[in-house]
Amino acid sequence: MGRNPLVMIIDEDPIFRQELQGMLTPARLAVVADCGYGVEAASLAEELKPDLILASIEEPVARAIQTIEAVRGIRPGAPVIAYSSSTELHLVRQAMHAGVRDLLAHPFKVGELLTAIEAVMRSASLPGEAAPQPQAAGTILTVFGAKGGIGKTTITTNIATAIARDTDSSVLVMDLDTRFGDVAIMLDIDPAVTVAEMAGQVATLDRASFKAALVEHESGVFVLPSPKHPNDWRQVQADDIKELARFASRMFDYVILDTPGAFNDVVGAALEVATQVLVVTSVDMASIKDTSFILDVLESEGFPDDRLFLTVNHPNGANTIRAADIERVLRKKVFWEIPHDAQMTMATQIGLPVVLARPKSRAASNLAGLAGKITGRDAPARESKGFLRRLIPAGSRN
């Protein structure tokens, strides 16, 4: 190789990532990327094309292995050296099956690391660039409803929290409500930077400045809120929203877009860029009528029906309209029903998602189930090599 190898470090511990960079200094190895597990690792591998990957395998081990497999799928010719504090045989087997070339016991000495690097790079054969791979990106989930006041933001904040809690995935909520953005209020946070500001900078945005602008909720969910003043949306272009969502999806496993109860250019952008769309309706006739109209519009525009998931929210216990009735009117199968539960309102009043505030409540169990449905955790166990396919759903990228 005519130049020193470009190195990528994957480790959930940012402090050790810095220590590891120091270990590589004597060998004049350039670290071009360092990050934790998840879609960002695959995205950086695709973008920066490292020649060598150093990866930690610690809890959650399955996520570490899946990340290594995803990066290997992007850079099949780049050898992987992993390190772990565990020496259990099953972990060694998992690492080898994932394509790891060498596995070091952690902690290790500088000499051990450099010897391992020299050995794998001597035998590595880095081919020329292969055929283009699908873009490494997370799921973009748009929560949409044709009418306001039907619980979209409540659903958004709860499924985001449940995904972050139950899957160890990185989750970002972007509040695209151009009228009454309430994500920050519902999560009881006071962010300084908004979606509108980030959209205005999307052409020159970098990962570090974007992450620095986000607020992390105690649940682990990151938030990019709506502006406090609707006038701030005037300079935002629909294409900027699409680019911002795609940019974010290269850093987060799940990007959830909360939208207003009206159809506008921002909503159109959120639908166009979505991997999946939760179409939310309540059981009142006005909401059902408006949802029917929007579904007809989307069908006439050729929007893929397999991206639309009809979700029925029961905000009170008074209505007797059944899912079968809604399916007959809307000519679409109901994907999920959310029952009425007074605990939901109580949780909202204290600024916490019900899945955190009342985790044993009926609503919390239901919304956690919806999150599991979205992530596939309720499905039978899959082989770990399916992780990249979950990062890059077929046919979902433009």
| 146 & 116 share domain | no
Q: What is the pLDDT of residues 31-48, one digit of tens each?
A: 999 999 999 999 999 999
The CATH number assigned to the domain holding 279 equals 3.40.50.300
Q: Which of 187, 168, 222 is nearest to 37 (CA)?
A: 168
Q: What is the pLDDT of residue 10?
A: 97
Number of compact structural domains in the chain: 2
149: left (phi over 0), alpha (psi -120 to 50) or beta: left
Which of 181, 184, 172, 173 is CA-nearest to residue 148?
Answer: 181
With beta carbons less than 8 A apart as the criterion, state whether 117 and 78 touch.
Answer: no
Which residues share a beta bridge with 313?
282, 338
The span from the first CA to the last CA of the chain, in angstroms, equals 35
- 250 and 201 housed in the same domain: yes
Confirm whether 131 is domain-assigned. no
Same domain, 61 and 172: no
The verdict on 40 and 169 lying in the same domain is no
Claim to verify: residue 104 and residue 193 sit in the same structural domain? no
pLDDT at res. 377: 73
- Statement to judge: residues 223 and 324 lie in one domain: yes
CATH number of the domain to which 14 belongs: 3.40.50.2300
Region class of 391: left (phi > 0), else alpha (psi between -120 and 50), else beta: alpha
Between CA 352 and CA 21 the distance in angstroms is: 39
157 in any annotated domain: yes
Strand partners, 141: 256, 276
Q: How far is 144 from 136, CA to CA, in rounded Å?
A: 25
The domain in which residue 201 lies consists of 139-391
| The two three-digit tokens of residue 362, written as one number | 């009926």
| DSSP character at residue 61 | H
Distance CA 40, CA 47 (A): 10
How many Å apart are CA 182 and CA 187, to the nearest integer? 9
Domain boundary among 92, 123, 154: 123
pLDDT for 378? 63
CB atoms within 10 A of CB 110: 14
Are the C-beta atoms of 284 and 200 separated by less than 8 Å? no
Which tokens hold the place of 199?
Answer: 């959209």
Residue 18 resides in a domain? yes
Look at the block and give the residue holding tokens 């109901």.
334
Dmax over Cα atoms in the chain, in whole Å? 73
What is the predicted pLDDT for the residue at 389?
39
- Residue 334 has a CB neighbour count (10 Å cut-off) of 16
At residue 320, the pLDDT reads 64
Alpha-helical runs (H) found in the chain: 14-24, 39-48, 61-74, 89-97, 110-123, 152-167, 183-186, 195-200, 207-213, 238-249, 265-272, 285-300, 323-330, 342-349, 354-357, 362-375, 387-391
10-residue block means of pLDDT along the chain (398 residues)?
79 94 84 94 93 94 93 93 90 90 92 90 58 63 91 94 91 90 87 90 90 92 89 88 94 94 89 94 90 92 91 76 86 92 81 90 94 76 38 40
Two tokens at 142? 């748009």
* The last residue of a domain, from among 123, 153, 170: 123
DSSP reduced 3-state for 291: helix
